[in-house]
Amino acid sequence: MNREKNATAAPVRIKNESSVLRADDKTLLERLSDEILMARVAGGNPAALEMLYDRYASTVLGLSLKVIGDQALAEDVLQETFWRVWQSAATYESQRGSFAGWLFRIARNLAIDAYRRRNARPQAMPDVVGSEPILDQVSDPDVDVVEQVQSSLQHKQVRLALLSLSPAQRQVIEMAYFFGMTRQEIAEATGEALGTIHTRARLAIQKLRAELDKEEFEG
Amino acid sequence: MDERQIEELLPFYALDALTEEERILVEEYLAEHPEARQKLEEMTDTVSALARGVSRVEPSPRAKKALMGRVAADVKARARASRQQQPFLSFLGGMRGENILRAFTLGIATLAIVWVIMLNVELARLRNQIATLNDALVAQSNSLNQIIASLPQATPSNVITVSLKGTDVQPQAQGQLIADPNSQSAVLVIAGLPPLEPGKTYQVWLIDGGTPVSAGLLTVDENGQAVFLVTSEEAIGSFNSLGISVEPKGGSLQPTGDIVVLSEI
């Protein structure tokens, strides 16, 4: 993203309950990196939080919805995720990883918690086996990427990278990442040996990394 | 489990798909193998990208409104708490007109008289208490001298005690950290932390200039109490804060959940 690193602090004014951004604030904040915005959130700046929300809410909601499968619950998780960001901003350390990675980890954990509270595990887990991948429509990259999703370059890059995986490798990644299943649960659900699951996970991540590097992915 | 088997767990660690026992094994291994940490960081970066692969879904305006409303209320509460720290100045700032000033002066005078009476009563009570405590102190000093005399080889101690308190998330939490600042370990005594639901754990963090370092996972008893041995590769005195957060089972590389305790040490 094109961001200015050393911009001065923008004035913040609370206009109403749903937005704290004035037009001039927004223009300035849009140019700031996630990490600089987080420093402002840590200082109690709601406008910086709103900018991060505008940047990531649709991805966080998409992620939560994939895990939970319920729009209302997923929106609760979305709200709770950014509330955690607001409350825990002082503990975020940019040297330890990107803001997006931290944010998605919070969202994913909250979504899995919500999913488990709603469903007695592991009832929904076996549905993954033999069904369409959670990262859906990856079998048709042209339709998926260009026509249906019309999303960001990053979205396209990740989807193309996922296409490089075999269905079995993708399944292991989906079960672990989206359902929070342990390796033993995955082995049991797929009927494969634990060693096979290990190999699939390792190769899948290696392959994803290689593809993302090839596409010059910038997370 | 040998090293090769632990290496096989790294992808699942990055995917956050290990049992608590497995996570602990991996973290112990990572602590001693920097090359494995490097490998894990690359895997974690890759896994983080997965979220970008899902179809993005536009949230309803209601979700944003609810969030920002909650945040605005929190901002107001923080401002109110800040104002309450200077009540007298705020009160003076709000005064208008001679009548209010007269009423204020009269009120202050009345309060002062009542205050003086109360102070005298309290003073008498405290004098009695001091006399009683002096007697007790003399008795305890005698006992202590006897103990010291019987322990001539005891080394001087730099042990300090630091009070810990809960955040707004868990205001009833409180505890103490008993430590020698030059030592790499300390004893944490904590109370007021409710037992967590399955799949969650408390994690203790030592913080140096904003960088949290995990000091271990904490389990409280049914009464919300725990005594915990905090250990660190650095001297305890090199850190300036201690925090406790709620994390997924097995803990996290850095705080991701509610911060329930945060105090300067």
Minimum distance, in Å, between the CA of residue B55 and any CA atom of chain A: 6
Number of C-beta neighbours around residue A88 at 10 A = 21
Contact flag B55-A183 (C-beta cutoff 8 Å): no
At A141 the pLDDT is: 40
> In whole angstroms, what is the distance from residue B217 CA to residue B247 CA?
9
Residue A4 per-residue DSSP state: -
* Residues of B with Cβ-Cβ distance to A212 under 8 angstroms: 46, 49
Contacts of A75 (CB under 8 A, 6+ apart): A61, A64, B59, B60, B62, B63
Handedness of CA A107, A109, A112, A118 (dihedral sign): negative
Contacts of A192 (CB under 8 A, 6+ apart): A186, A200
Minimum distance, in Å, between the CA of residue B265 and any CA atom of chain A: 16
Minimum distance, in Å, between the CA of residue B185 and any CA atom of chain A: 22
Residue A134 per-residue DSSP state: S
At B157 the pLDDT is: 57
The nearest alpha carbon in chain B to A76 belongs to: B63
Which residue bears the tokens 């659900």?
A: A189
**First and final CA of chain A: distance in angstroms?**
10
Q: Are the CB atoms for A12 and A42 separated by under 8 Å?
A: no
At A159 the pLDDT is: 85
> In the predicted model, what is the mean pLDDT of chain A?
78
Residue type, B226: A
Which residue bears the tokens 């008498």?
A: B124
Minimum distance, in Å, between the CA of residue B161 and any CA atom of chain A: 24
Would you give the distance in Å from CA B62 to the centre of its chain?
34
* CA-wise closest residue to B57 among A58, A81, A100, A89: A58
Q: What is the DSSP string of B92-160?
A: HHT--SHHHHHHHHHHHHHHHHHHHHHHHHHHHHHHHHHHHHHHHHHHHHHHHHHHHHH-TTPPP---E
Least CB-CB distance to A177: which of B15, B61, B205? B15
This prediction's pTM: 0.56
Contact flag A86-B254 (C-beta cutoff 8 Å): no
At A175 the pLDDT is: 92
pLDDT digits over A180-209, tens only? Answer: 899 999 999 999 999 999 999 999 999 999
Contact flag B257-A88 (C-beta cutoff 8 Å): yes
Contact flag B57-A61 (C-beta cutoff 8 Å): yes
pLDDT digits over A129-182, tens only? Answer: 344 444 544 433 433 333 344 446 788 888 889 888 999 999 999 999 988 899
Domains of chain A: 1-118 (1.10.1740.10), 122-219 (1.10.10.10)
Least CB-CB distance to A93: which of B12, B64, B254? B254
Contact flag A205-B14 (C-beta cutoff 8 Å): yes
Contact flag B42-A173 (C-beta cutoff 8 Å): no
> In whole angstroms, what is the distance from residue A94 CA to residue A79 CA?
22
Q: Are the CB atoms for B9 and B40 separated by under 8 Å?
A: no
Going across the sheet that includes B226-231, the strands are: B160-165, B174-179, B185-191, B226-231
> In whole angstroms, what is the distance from residue A91 CA to residue B154 CA?
41
**First and final CA of chain B: distance in angstroms?**
38
> In whole angstroms, what is the distance from residue B122 CA to residue A122 CA?
65
pLDDT, mean of residues B24-30: 92
Helix spans in chain B (H): 3-14, 20-32, 34-49, 61-84, 87-93, 98-150
Minimum distance, in Å, between the CA of residue B198 and any CA atom of chain A: 10
| Residue B58, CA distances (Å) to A143, A149, A168, B61 in order | 20, 12, 30, 9
> In whole angstroms, what is the distance from residue B139 CA to residue B101 CA?
54
| B-interface mutation test, from A35, A56, A61, most B Cβ less than 10 A away | A61
Least CB-CB distance to A65: which of B14, B57, B205? B57
Q: What is the DSSP string of A10-29?
A: PP----SSS----HHHHHHH
Token couple for B183:
């030592």
* Residues of A with Cβ-Cβ distance to B39 under 8 angstroms: none
Minimum distance, in Å, between the CA of residue B73 and any CA atom of chain A: 9
Minimum distance, in Å, between the CA of residue B100 and any CA atom of chain A: 33
> In whole angstroms, what is the distance from residue B230 CA to residue B217 CA?
10
Give, for A173, the enclosing helix (H) or strand (E). helix A167-179
Token couple for B43:
């895997």
The residue among B208 and A102 whose pLDDT is bigger is A102
Lowest pLDDT segment from A56-70, A130-144, B46-60, B74-88: A130-144
At A157 the pLDDT is: 86
> In whole angstroms, what is the distance from residue B46 CA to residue B37 CA?
14
My answer on whether omega of the bond before B156 falls inside 30° of 0, hence cis, is no
* Residues of A with Cβ-Cβ distance to B69 under 8 angstroms: 17-18
- The pLDDT confidence band at residue B89, using thresholds 50, 70 and 90, is low
Residue A149 per-residue DSSP state: I
Least CB-CB distance to A82: which of B67, B254, B257? B67
Would you give the distance in Å from CA B183 to the centre of its chain?
20
Least CB-CB distance to B59: which of A61, A152, A176? A61
Contact flag A101-B45 (C-beta cutoff 8 Å): yes
At B92 the pLDDT is: 52
> In whole angstroms, what is the distance from residue B186 CA to residue B191 CA?
17
pLDDT digits over A71-114, tens only? Answer: 999 999 999 999 999 999 998 988 878 899 999 999 999 999 99
Q: Are the CB atoms for A75 and B59 separated by under 8 Å?
A: yes
pLDDT, mean of residues B187-216: 87
pLDDT at B222 exceeding the cut of 80: yes
At B107 the pLDDT is: 79
Contact flag B199-A14 (C-beta cutoff 8 Å): no
Contact flag B55-A75 (C-beta cutoff 8 Å): no
- The pLDDT confidence band at residue A24, using thresholds 50, 70 and 90, is low
Residue type, A135: L
Least CB-CB distance to B59: which of A17, A78, A116? A78
At A12 the pLDDT is: 40
At B261 the pLDDT is: 92
Q: Are the CB atoms for A212 and A158 separated by under 8 Å?
A: yes
